[in-house]
């Protein structure tokens, strides 16, 4: 098992290097010259060229790429073109908010979505099932950021219960987390339901019933552990979704997290920030997927055996 | 959710498969509702803008920011344009982008997946590792970055929405090709000399169609949501083009005073996505009754 | 036949609903089984054999299936009328079932030991320790080393898994064992071993058995009485000798092909022209009439009751004795 964790960690390295290369390349080919943008419209051509040389933008692509990777390895992502503040410093400050937001959203999404899906699956065809599924279908049909706007409209602007923007007390987290959760619960409940139904239909559940177990035992002892496996994987996917969506949710609530940082940078063509933000979120996501995989191996003896035996 | 229930035990008499699927689809209440909503919606966004009597883009400052009324059912926006007309025209953008982007995604995925699945070996490995890398960037984030690199506008946004989705379709196609190919290899030991390319694709393509079609339906819904997010944060489609997300981007400034500017486009998105999801669910049930709720 | 039997099924009728259609899976089945004996249910796939077996345990898929009428009495106690609580006592301890596919009938995330011990603990009020000990004993009984008790199903081969399933089924000394094609998913070489073991253990524990199969070889080896099932009906019922040597029903004759000989290896059912009837739309008359080469006009319109062609040998074909005419 220790070996598996090590291999899995080692495998992250090429993937992350790949991500870094890809992000760098995409941003490299973005139209528009950062030097020209920094200097503004009145800049002379020689001024721009001088700045380009100073920024290393005149070097060949591979040299720039190598420099980016080497610096990234040392957690040096350069400085913002506009504020001059080291990117890593900003990221360190903003990271906890985005992570907290992401994990809280995921936690509540799972907390509500999974039991709802399991309830629906075990009450298949009954009124409760239909109600849960109808709600879930509506939930997945609204854009999360629009849901966020609606929450702001009701709870901040009309009722004045919760703040609409910024970050400070726990109250600031309520609406963003709620918005992410509402739009995630539907997907999660649908996934949990279909995964549970799949399991309930399987032969070993009939076997368990034929042993004379109580329906409760059949569901919780035999069906649930098996149904949880795909649900676990979906939790990882959900987190990716939340991290991706956090950029938009943070924009709605003006939360100074990685998302807003990146979006502003995208609009300003502040490339070091964009590259660093994406890379950091990808690292975070990869780590979570690693945890999910480990948890999976822990729960599923088939996978555990495969890894214990693998190289 | 659905009327029909599946039973595994007795075999029902064999019918032509397509007919059977169609019958199940039509019997599926949610699928039919979804299809009807979508049909009405399509009709409205294609014909509707000609009937409202307003232009979606012509500025009319004198009638700006009017609440919904008999004259302007959805009110007017900050430039005095009829919001209903804009919502309808916006549907052309949203649905058009969503459908085109999904077609490109699925097409790319089918081609790439077929190649990797069929060729295998080094090519397969390289592509799969590349997909690993792509998929370790959260989806919307990747779309945002590509969109930032490509720039805004209809065609570039479609490409940005399409590129990130290719990975998923590739994996789907690849695994179904591989499944058939593995079986094929077993048989090939006995009967050498058959045209395996034809047989592999002849078998794998129809087999993978069912999950593909369902996934494409849901892909359109997902891309409409993605597009809205993209436009909302200032990428994607730019005002004054009336895409729903772009309308929300403008409308958010008026959330305190003219909330209808954000409520109505959002509801349009929701109705569209809902109808696509209903259809997707119905299709899934019709194509594979075993997976049914 | 009103006397009490070990297992007595009368007029059993079961329907499924699917897509708004009613599927008549089992239609007025009568069956008897005496203690320590084996009854074989023979028929094509989809004839309703598994449904009959599952209905004895009352584990049919819940909302879709419905026992419309009939009774299933085990020592005089009707399973259909039994309370859920009583059924839970019976399942696993008095009646146990072996399923068709050992690859899927074990819970993949539980050790085989726990899965065997579970049924023991559940029915015998035993402690964890003694249940595990008993599970180990059972494993050894079916020829698996006891130290593999902590292993998971994926670590066993198909044949071994079926042994585990058998160990699990026999762990509480059930009076009745329902074996649903216990070997059809296994390799031919392993089939014989597993069958032999089932037969040995059945004799050892004096267990009665309902054996579902479409393999005539297995019937010849293991069964005492045979019921030929078709479209949810018993077409012919009798002891092994009667069915093999003096088949009466055209369908049975068809199944055995031209040479109904107990000692000739006719392992495969003979193919009969045509398809079984659509269970949503069964024929009005005899359910086999559409495929029957001897069918007469009234076969298509009249449903004949099964009658005794010789003591203990029932046949639903009215013209069984006059087929050659």
| Range with lowest mean pLDDT among A2-16, A146-160, B63-77, C304-318 | B63-77
Mean pLDDT for A231-241 is 82
Chain A contacts in chain B segment 54-73 (CB below 8 A): none
Q: Tell me whether residue B133 is in a domain.
A: yes
Domain with A194 in it: what CATH number?
A: 1.10.3720.10
Angle between helices B83-119 and B154-188 (to 10 degrees): 30
Q: Tell me whether residue B28 is in a domain.
A: no
Question: Mutate which of A122, A129, A207 to disrupt the C interface (most C C-beta within 10 Å)?
Answer: A207
A149 touches B248 (CB < 8 A): yes
Residue B196 pLDDT:
61
In 3D space, the residue among B150, B139, B129 whose CA is nearest the CA of residue B235 turns out to be B150
Mean pLDDT, chain C, integer: 84
A227 touches A235 (CB < 8 A): no
Q: Work out the percent of chain A whose per-residue pLDDT is above 90.
A: 8
Residue C62 pLDDT:
73
Judge whether B6 is closer than 8 Å to chain A, CB to CB. no
Under the banding of pLDDT at 50, 70 and 90, the label for residue C256 is confident
Mind listing the pLDDT tens digit for each residue in C173-227?
888 999 988 887 777 778 888 888 888 888 888 889 999 988 888 888 888 999 9
Tell me the ipTM for this assembly. 0.85
Specify the 3-state DSSP secondary structure of A83. Answer: coil
Mind listing the pLDDT tens digit for each residue in A23-63?
888 888 777 777 877 777 777 888 888 888 887 888 888 88
Residue B189 pLDDT:
44
Chain C contacts in chain B segment 188-217 (CB below 8 A): none
Spatial separation of the C-alpha atoms in residues C208 and A256, rounded to whole Å? 73
> Which residue in C89, C109, C154 is closest to A226 by CB distance?
C109
Residue C244 phi/psi, 5° resolution?
-75, -40
Residues of A in contact with C118 (CB under 8 A): 211, 213
Q: Work out the percent of chain A whose per-residue pLDDT is above 70.
A: 96
Question: How many H helices and E strands in chain A?
Answer: 14, 0
> Is the predicted pLDDT of residue C325 greater than 60, yes or no?
no
Q: Tell me whether residue A188 is in a domain.
A: yes
Mind listing the pLDDT tens digit for each residue in C54-79?
999 888 887 778 888 889 988 888 88
> Are C17 and B13 within 8 A, CB to CB?
no
Chain C contacts in chain B segment 26-55 (CB below 8 A): 27
Domain with B124 in it: what CATH number?
A: 1.10.3720.10
In our burial notation (b when 16+ CB lie closer than 10 A, e otherwise), range B67-86 reads eeeeebebbbbbbbbbbbbb
Residues of B in contact with C276 (CB under 8 A): 11
Q: Tell me whether residue B90 is in a domain.
A: yes
Residue A108 pLDDT:
93
Q: Tell me whether residue A61 is in a domain.
A: no
Mean pLDDT for C9-24 is 84
B247 touches B84 (CB < 8 A): no
Q: Tell me whether residue B6 is in a domain.
A: no
| Range with lowest mean pLDDT among B107-121, C128-142, C246-260 | C246-260
Q: Tell me whether residue B51 is in a domain.
A: yes
C180: β partners: C212
| Range with lowest mean pLDDT among A276-280, C43-47, C145-149 | C43-47
C279 touches C25 (CB < 8 A): yes
In 3D space, the residue among C125, C113, C122 whose CA is nearest the CA of residue C168 turns out to be C113
**DSSP character for B12?**
P
Q: Tell me whether residue A103 is in a domain.
A: yes
Q: Tell me whether residue B272 is in a domain.
A: yes
Residue B2 pLDDT:
37
Range of the domain at B136: 47-57+69-291
Under the banding of pLDDT at 50, 70 and 90, the label for residue A4 is confident
Residues of B in contact with A285 (CB under 8 A): 136-138
Total domains in chain A come to: 1
Mind listing the pLDDT tens digit for each residue in B160-169?
899 888 998 9
Shortest CA distance from C48: residue in chain B: B10
Total domains in chain B come to: 1
Range of the domain at A152: 95-257
Shortest CA distance from C53: residue in chain A: A210
Question: Mutate which of A197, A204, A223, A308 to disrupt the C interface (most C C-beta within 10 Å)?
Answer: A204
| Range with lowest mean pLDDT among A131-145, C178-192, C258-272 | C258-272
> Are A301 and C119 within 8 A, CB to CB?
no
Under the banding of pLDDT at 50, 70 and 90, the label for residue B275 is very high
> Are A209 and C91 within 8 A, CB to CB?
yes
> Are B140 and A245 within 8 A, CB to CB?
yes
Residue A9 pLDDT:
82
Shortest CA distance from B272: residue in chain A: A141
Domains, chain C, ranges and CATH? Answer: 7-94+174-322 (3.40.50.300)
> Is the predicted pLDDT of residue A286 greater than 60, yes or no?
yes
Residue B203 pLDDT:
67
Q: Tell me whether residue B15 is in a domain.
A: no
Residue B184 pLDDT:
59
B85 touches B55 (CB < 8 A): yes
Q: Tell me whether residue B10 is in a domain.
A: no
């Amino acid at each position: 098992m220790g070996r598996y964790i090590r291999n899995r960690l080692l495998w992250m390295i090429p993937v992350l290097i790949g991500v870094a290369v890809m992000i760098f390349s995409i941003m490299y080919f973005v139209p528009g010259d950062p030097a020209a943008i920094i200097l503004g419209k009145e800049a002379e051509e020689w001024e721009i060229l001088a700045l380009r040389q100073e920024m290393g933008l005149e070097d060949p692509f591979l040299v720039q790429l190598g420099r980016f990777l080497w610096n990234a390895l040392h957690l040096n992502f350069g400085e913002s073109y506009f504020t001059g503040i080291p990117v890593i410093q900003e990221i360190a400050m903003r990271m906890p908010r985005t992570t907290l937001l992401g994990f809280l959203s995921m936690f509540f999404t799972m907390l509500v979505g999974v039991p709802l899906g399991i309830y629906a699956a075990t009450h298949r065809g009954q009124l409760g099932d239909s109600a849960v599924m109808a709600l879930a279908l509506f939930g997945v049909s609204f854009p999360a950021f629009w849901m966020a706007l609606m929450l702001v409209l009701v709870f901040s602007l009309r009722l004045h219960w919760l703040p609409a923007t910024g970050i400070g007390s726990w109250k600031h987290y309520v609406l963003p987390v709620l918005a992410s959760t509402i739009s995630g619960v539907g997907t999660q409940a649908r996934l949990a339901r279909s995964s549970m139904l799949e399991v309930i239909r399987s032969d070993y559940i009939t076997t368990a019933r034929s042993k004379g177990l109580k329906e409760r035992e059949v569901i919780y002892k035999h069906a649930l552990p098996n149904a949880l496996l795909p649900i676990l994987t979906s939790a990882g996917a959900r987190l990716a979704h939340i991290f991706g969506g956090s950029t938009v949710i943070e924009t709605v609530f003006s939360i100074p997290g990685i998302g807003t940082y990146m979006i502003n940078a995208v609009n300003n063509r502040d490339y070091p920030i964009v590259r660093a933000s994406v890379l950091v979120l990808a690292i975070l996501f990869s780590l979570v997927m690693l945890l999910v995989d480990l948890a999976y191996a822990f729960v599923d003896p088939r996978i555990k055996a495969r890894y214990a035996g693998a190289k | 959710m659905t009327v029909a229930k599946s039973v595994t035990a007795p075999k029902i008499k064999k019918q032509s498969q397509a007919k059977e699927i169609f019958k199940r689809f039509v019997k599926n209440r949610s699928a039919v509702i979804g299809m009807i909503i979508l049909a009405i919606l399509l009709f409205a966004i294609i014909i509707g803008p000609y009937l409202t009597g307003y232009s979606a883009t012509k500025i009319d400052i004198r009638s700006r920011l009017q609440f919904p009324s008999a004259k302007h059912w959805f009110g007017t926006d900050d430039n005095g344009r009829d919001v209903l007309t804009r919502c309808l025209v916006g549907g052309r953008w949203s649905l058009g982008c969503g459908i085109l982007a999904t077609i490109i995604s699925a097409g790319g995925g089918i081609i790439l997946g077929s190649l990797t699945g069929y060729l295998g070996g080094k090519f397969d490995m390289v592509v799969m590792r590349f997909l690993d890398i792509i998929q370790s960037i959260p989806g919307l984030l990747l779309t945002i970055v590509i969109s930032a690199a490509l720039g805004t506008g209809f065609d570039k946004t479609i490409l940005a929405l399409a590129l990130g989705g290719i990975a998923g379709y590739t994996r789907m196609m690849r695994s179904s090709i591989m499944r058939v190919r593995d079986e094929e290899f077993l048989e090939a030991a006995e009967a050498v000399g058959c045209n395996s390319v034809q047989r592999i694709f002849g078998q794998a393509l129809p087999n993978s169609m069912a999950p593909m079609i369902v996934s494409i339906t849901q892909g359109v819904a997902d891309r409409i949501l993605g597009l809205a997010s993209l436009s909302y944060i200032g990428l994607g489609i730019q005002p004054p083009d009336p895409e729903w997300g772009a309308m929300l981007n403008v409308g958010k400034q008026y959330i305190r005073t003219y909330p209808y500017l954000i409520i109505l486009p959002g509801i349009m998105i929701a109705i569209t996505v809902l109808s696509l999801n209903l259809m997707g669910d119905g299709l899934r049930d019709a194509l594979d009754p075993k997976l049914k709720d | 036949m009103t006397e009490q039997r070990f297992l007595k099924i009368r007029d059993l009728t079961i329907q499924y609903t699917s897509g708004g259609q009613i599927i008549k899976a089992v239609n007025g089945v009568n069956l008897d089984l005496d203690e320590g004996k084996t009854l074989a249910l023979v028929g094509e796939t989809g004839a309703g054999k598994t449904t009959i077996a599952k209905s004895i345990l009352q584990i049919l898929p819940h909302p879709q299936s419905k026992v419309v009428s009939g009774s299933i009495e085990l020592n005089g106690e009707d399973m259909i009328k039994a309370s859920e609580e009583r059924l839970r006592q019976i399942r696993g301890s008095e009646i146990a079932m072996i399923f068709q596919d050992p690859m899927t009938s074990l819970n993949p995330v539980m050790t085989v030991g726990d899965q065997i011990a579970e049924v023991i603990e559940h029915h015998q009020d035993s402690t964890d320790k003694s249940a595990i000990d008993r599970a180990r004993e059972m494993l050894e009984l079916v020829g698996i080393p006891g130290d593999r008790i902590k292993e998971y199903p994926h670590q066993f081969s198909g044949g071994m898994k079926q042994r585990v399933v058998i160990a699990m089924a026999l762990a509480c000394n059930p009076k009745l064992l329902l074996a649903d094609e216990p070997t059809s998913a296994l390799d031919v070489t392993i089939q014989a071993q597993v069958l032999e073991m089932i037969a040995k253990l059945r004799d050892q524990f004096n267990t009665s058995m309902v054996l579902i199969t479409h393999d005539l070889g297995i019937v010849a080896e293991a069964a005492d009485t045979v019921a030929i099932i078709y479209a949810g009906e018993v077409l012919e019922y009798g002891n092994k000798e009667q069915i093999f040597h003096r088949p009466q029903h055209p369908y049975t004759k068809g199944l055995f092909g031209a040479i109904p000989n107990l000692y000739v290896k006719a392992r495969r059912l003979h193919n009969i022209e045509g398809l079984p009837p659509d269970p949503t739309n069964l024929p009005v008359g005899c359910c086999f009439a559409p495929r029957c080469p001897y069918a007469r006009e009234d076969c298509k319109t009249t449903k004949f009751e099964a009658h005794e062609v010789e003591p203990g040998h029932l046949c639903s074909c009215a013209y069984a004795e006059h087929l050659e005419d």
